[in-house]
Structure 1
């Protein structure tokens, strides 16, 4: 099982007791990857964006298991205007911001280094060379082990990696984008601010370069199970893919969610899955295997 635990609601809509229980069970079940950000969940009334990291920090301190987990967090998307529930005042990716944001995340998490540190969103107001250089400085200082780009266009990712290569800096080796078995209509604008969808070009690029692809909204926020599909997924391809998904799930005695996660993992993609209860987590910890024929059937419908 190679999934990352998404922790957006920890410390707000999911209290400490439940958050700790979920984290405990995730690790007990073989999970090691924990994904957060320095702004989760700032968009909720009364939240600051500290809550998720701070909750994980309390859990790490109480369990003493820092070496057993991989901590992934992000910078660049934290609002600078109190009460702003949008990304309009996002802190950005300047060298000064990155240095301060890393220190703040390390303090909230109670750790001495971040395993994977991501540029959360693009910031085209800052020279890319400055951003890539600032991430390299954090790696050189031992505060960060690996760096990644979240919600970046493929051409910007390539340009950043080329800059890193030309300077001998640490390159982005992790990529985080939105992706699932079902896909929205081509060209549709997603309502979630800042979300960038995986494309065929993305998949070609990360596979050719040997990059680590993590994907969020991998289970469409519950739409495979009980919630209605977002309007952006209303097109003929969705109906065809759902029919095959249901056939495969029935043959395996699995749920749609379990098959989707297995389908992603057969492609060496790491799904980020968020849960708010132990029951939800138990479903996702169940290991489902797809043989080549089942994988081919899932891939076939357009």
Structure 2
């Protein structure tokens, strides 16, 4: 299924772990009722919650799709490479991106999801212990077999993305990129909330603008509720540029009669290059708020004010 040009992906990280199955089904139902089609998950979600091992999110989505019979109306996105190799382990013991591991990971994801293909299959984290051409070849092979419609890469250095795309040659290559990004910008000298997170940079934006076959997805688009609860915004965002940016955001949100979250999503959706925001949810109201942002259109003046604030 084709991904709409202006859309939001539902982030399903907590489904099956901190969000139980009944609540997950309700969130998925409401998202699709409102026209949503893109689901983003990973085989690692969410190994660090409640003693789980990863794969719980995929399994819940699989059971939901089986009950609803709606697989063909969805864009299904999942990732491999970050799942730990045993219970109680962390990213230091992740499965990695060796060819055999990549194939086995996708086969396991397909089984949990109850489908014969995913629409986008991602390399979740870098694995520099494996030759890049081995990983590139493994992903290309799965796309050629029809088990992965398109390929993506997240949290990689830009030069590694370019090298991987060049190594693919005429074979299927990474066309989807996924990184952390939001309206508020972090300091470069302080760590992000997770060591695995890699933030959008000017170099990455320049690369995406130059490569017209790429699509940039962004996670933590709403800073895990930080716009609604400023006290939860990570320390990396505590700098002199943040208050004027929040002031501009509040001003434009008032003009649009929208929430701060909706205004952030509208800013992302119509940016240049445009982003595909991934919005994590745990309540129906959050789904409805996020989908409401698709109705918003920023004026040139509003966008200019938002862009200039805090610079």
- TM-score range relative to shorter protein: over 0.9
**Structure 1 partner of 2:225:** 222
Large movers: runs of 4+ above 4 Å: none
**Structure 1 partner of 2:107:** 103
What is the root-mean-square deviation in Å for CA atoms of aligned residues? 1.0
The whole-number CA distance in structure 2 between the counterparts of 1:179 and 1:74 is 19
2:70 equivalent among 42, 65, 69: 65
**Structure 1 partner of 2:117:** 113
Residue 179 of structure 2 is aligned to residue 177 of structure 1: yes
Structure 1 residue ranges without an equivalent (≥5): none
Indicate if the aligned counterparts of 2:8 and 2:38 stay in contact, CA closer than 8 A. Answer: yes
Indicate if the aligned counterparts of 1:87 and 1:193 stay in contact, CA closer than 8 A. Answer: no
The whole-number CA distance in structure 2 between the counterparts of 1:234 and 1:34 is 31
**Per-residue CA shift, 1:137-185, capped at 9, x if unaligned?**
10111100100001001010011011112xx211100000000000111
Give the superposition deviation at 1:239. 1.0
**Per-residue CA shift, 1:237-261, capped at 9, x if unaligned?**
1111111001101111111100000
1:237 equivalent among 230, 235, 241: 241
**Structure 1 partner of 2:18:** 13
Give the superposition deviation at 1:227. 4.6
User: TM-score scaled by structure 2?
Assistant: 0.94
Indicate if the aligned counterparts of 1:224 and 1:256 stay in contact, CA closer than 8 A. Answer: yes
The whole-number CA distance in structure 2 between the counterparts of 1:67 and 1:292 is 37
The whole-number CA distance in structure 2 between the counterparts of 1:32 and 1:187 is 37
The whole-number CA distance in structure 2 between the counterparts of 1:290 and 1:191 is 30
User: TM-score scaled by structure 1?
Assistant: 0.97
Partner of 2:92, secondary structure, is coil
Give the superposition deviation at 1:45. 3.1
